[in-house]
Amino acid sequence: MPATLQCIVLDCPEPLVLARFYQALLGGEVDRPDPRWRVDDDWSTLHVNELVLGFQRAYGHQPPRWPDPAFPQQFHLDFEVDDLRESHHQVLANGGRLLDPDLGGRGWRVYADPAGHPFCLLGDY
């Protein structure tokens, strides 16, 4: 039987800050009581429907530097959005950074969250 995905965990310097960033992007509930995980200064969660994102404090965290292979992205998340322009502004307003503006018209833009993890927004302009 295949494994069941329980949680996607991102290392970061400030777990609660990053949980709130992704809550602003995805909705959901930060640090909802769940017997599977503790919530404290070193760990926060975001429950979005059936998906759980975990945010774990990593002392000395070194963020990825997309696309520099010396500091690889390690993983990334893709989010499909209805309104790329509106989502772009929301990401920036909540501390995200634009890494690649999709000048080539691929249909996605690459951003970094406040801890430097790359992610993509996919959608129509």
Domain that holds residue 101: 77-122
The answer as to whether 63 is a domain residue is no
Task: Clarify whether residues 49 and 90 are in a common domain.
Answer: no
The answer as to whether 72 is a domain residue is no
What is the reported pLDDT for 103? 67
Q: Tell me which H or E stretch contains 90.
A: helix 84-93
How far is residue 73's CA from residue 71's CA, in Å, rounded to a whole number?
7
The domain total for the chain is: 2
Do the Cβ atoms of 88 and 98 come closer than 8 Å? yes
The answer as to whether 39 is a domain residue is yes
What CATH number corresponds to the domain at position 103?
3.10.180.10
Structure tokens at 22: 């992704």
Output the tens digit of pLDDT for each of the chain's 125 residues. 466 778 999 999 999 999 999 999 999 999 999 988 889 999 999 999 989 999 999 999 989 988 888 888 777 788 889 888 899 999 999 999 999 887 667 778 899 999 999 898 888 76
What is the reported pLDDT for 2? 67
Structure tokens at 61: 């965290």
The answer as to whether 36 is a domain residue is yes
The answer as to whether 107 is a domain residue is yes
- Tokens 């499909």 label which residue? 80
Task: Clarify whether residues 46 and 85 are in a common domain.
Answer: no
